[in-house]
Amino acid sequence: MPRPKPGVMDIAAYVPGRESAPGVEKVYKLSSNETPLGASPAVAAAIADVAGRLELYPDGAAHKLRDAIARAHGLNPGNILCSNGSDELLGLLCQTYLSPGDEGIFTEHGFLVYRIQIMAAGATPVVVRETDFTADVDAMLAAVTEKTRIVFLANPNNPTGTYLPVSEVRRLQAGLPRHVLLVIDAAYAEYVRRNDYEAGIELVSGNSNVVMTRTFSKIHGLAGLRIGWMYAPEAVIDAVNRIRGPFNVNAMAIVAGAAAIGDRAHVDAAIDHNDKWLARVSEGLTALGLEVTPSVGNFVLMHFPDAPGKTAADADAYLVARGFVLRRLTGYGLPNALRMTIGSEEANLGTLEALRGFMAVTS
Ligand SMILES: *Cc1c(COP(=O)(O)O)cnc(C)c1O
C-alpha cells in the first residue's frame, strides 16, 4: 500500500477545541478564542452579493482583500499575501523554507501548528524552554544551530496569553543569522493594550528575514471563513506565491475580510469588551484561589491545584456538565491548566459562578 513519506506518521494531528457538551442544552463555547461579538454586520451583505456568482473562480491574487488590509494598516499591498486561515500560511512558510535535516524553532508552550508544519516539511522541530510561561529570547538564540532555518514566535502566545515587548523581539531578530526566517504570529495583536508591544510591522519593514502573520479568525469573528494574511518582504511573498494554491482564498472570504477590516467601530467594540472582561475574569479567577497567568489576549490561562478532585481534568468535567466548554491543554504541556476564551457577559459570569461551585466542593 502507499506509504506516507518519512516523518508523516510521527505527527500528532491537531485536536481542535471541543464544541459540545453532551446532554447539556445551553453550551457556552469558550474553547477556541472566538469572539462573542460575532462578525461585523457588513460581512453578511458582502457575502450575499457574492453568493449568486459562485460558479466563478475567485481573484487568485485577492486584490480587494489585500487592498483593504493595506489601507487599514498603512501597508503596501505588494507586501501582503492572503491565505486560507493563517494556519495555511504557517504551512506554506515551512514548505518554502525547510528541507529535511533543517531545524525549526518554537517555544515550550507555543502554538501546536508550528510543530506539525515543521514536521510536515520533513524538518526537525526544536522546542525551547520558556520562563514564566513566556518566550525567552536568550534560550531561543541559544537553540540556533547551523541547521536552523525558521523561528516561530507567537506574540502574544496562545495558550499562555503572555507577550514579548518589541525591544525583546528586536533583540531576537538581531541575534538571528540573516538566512533564518523569523515568523511573528500576531493572531491576537488587536487585543493587546501595552505601550511596549508592536505586532511586527516595523520589524518586517526594516529586515529581509522577518514576516508577520495575522488572522481574521479572532477579533474579526470570521474563523468559519478561514482568512489569514502575512506582511512580508517581497522576496518572501514571491517565493510563497509560487507554491500556494492558485485560488487559496475563496470568493466569500475575499469580500468578507474586506468588509470586516473596514468596520473599525466593530473592532473597537470587540477591544472594549475584551478589556473590560479580561480584567474581570482574571480577577474573578484569582479570587477563587486559582493561579492566573497574566494575559494580553482574548483568553486566560488558569492553573489548578494538584490535589485530588481539584485538577484541571476534574474542573473541565465539572464545567462541561454545566455547559461551559473551556480548552484542555495536555497537548501543550500544560496538563493541569485550562484556557478560557473571554466570552459574553453571560458566559463569563456563568463560568466564574460554576468554578466557584467547583472550588467549594469538598471531596
Ligand atoms: C487562532 C490562532 C491562529 C489563527 O489561525 P487561523 O488559521 O487564521 O484561524 C494563528 N496562530 C495562533 C497562535 C492562534 O492562536
Q: Read off the C-alpha cell for 40.
A: 461585523
> Which ligand 1 atom minimizes the distance to the CA of 33?
1
- Ligand 1 pocket residue status of 31, Cβ below 6 Å: no
What residues does CATH 3.90.1150.10 cover in the chain? 8-30+265-360
> Which ligand 1 atom minimizes the distance to the CA of 111?
13
User: What is the identity of the amino acid at 14?
Assistant: Y
Kindly give, in sequence order, each residue whose CB lies less than 8 Å from that of residue 104, ignoring residues fewer than 6 positions away.
Answer: 94, 98, 114, 118, 121, 123, 124, 125, 126, 148, 149, 150, 151, 152
Q: For residues 303 and 109, is the Cβ–Cβ distance under 8 A? A: no
- Ligand 1 pocket residue status of 187, Cβ below 6 Å: yes
pLDDT of residue 16: 87
- Ligand 1 pocket residue status of 341, Cβ below 6 Å: no
CA–CA gap between residue 145 and residue 138 (Å, rounded): 14
What residues does CATH 3.40.640.10 cover in the chain? 41-262
Q: For residues 153 and 164, is the Cβ–Cβ distance under 8 A? A: yes
CA–CA gap between residue 335 and residue 119 (Å, rounded): 23
Whose C-alpha lies nearest to ligand 1, atom 3? 187
CA–centroid distance, 187 to ligand 1, in Å, is 6
Q: Strand, helix or coil at 137?
A: helix
Residues of the chain under the 70 pLDDT cut: 362-363
Q: Strand, helix or coil at 46?
A: helix
CA–centroid distance, 105 to ligand 1, in Å, is 18
- Chain position carrying cell 541547521: 147
CATH of domain 41-262: 3.40.640.10
- Ligand 1 pocket residue status of 168, Cβ below 6 Å: no
**Count of residues making up the chain:** 363
- Ligand 1 pocket residue status of 111, Cβ below 6 Å: yes
pTM: 0.97
CATH of domain 8-30+265-360: 3.90.1150.10
Ligand 1 pocket check: which of 32, 34, 86 to mutate, most ligand atoms within 8 Å of Cβ? 86
pLDDT of residue 317: 96
pLDDT of residue 237: 98
pLDDT of residue 363: 54
